[in-house]
Amino acid sequence: MTYVVTEACIKCKYTDCVEVCPVDCFYEGENMLVIHPDECIDCGVCEPECPVEAIIPDTDDSDGKWAELNKQYSASWPNITQKKDPLPEADTFAQEKGKLEKHFSPKPGEGS
């Protein structure tokens, strides 16, 4: 089992999870983070840190959509190892539904 970042992260990108990850398995896109499935050690310390509850065990990802997205983009986006400020509009988009279709960006972030 591993953890995956889901739609709730899109347009928010809180990085509290990055700060507590002991293996630096987070990767940064323009407007969300993903977890590298081969690097995650399944410790779970990141899950309760996310203020929008965007991180779930992959076993809760019933159709595997988020696991696939995390795997795909963690292979090309830069690694992020330090906490950053959330996106300026994070509070506005925190509870929005349907963000994958409306707002997802495949562009990489800056990393750290």
Digits of tens for pLDDT over the chain (112 positions)? 799 999 999 999 999 999 999 999 999 999 999 999 999 999 999 999 999 999 999 999 999 999 999 999 999 999 999 999 999 999 999 999 999 999 999 999 998 8
Contact 27, 77 (CB under 8 A): yes
* Residue 23 falls inside a structural domain: yes
* Residue 94 falls inside a structural domain: no
Task: Count how many domains the chain has.
Answer: 1
Q: Which domain covers residue 77, as residue numbers?
A: 3-82
* Residue 17 falls inside a structural domain: yes
Per the confidence metrics, is the pTM higher than 0.75? yes
DSSP string, 36-79: -TTT-----SSGGG-TT--EEEGGG-TTSHHHHHHHHHHTTSPB
Neighbouring CB atoms inside 10 A of 103's CB total 15
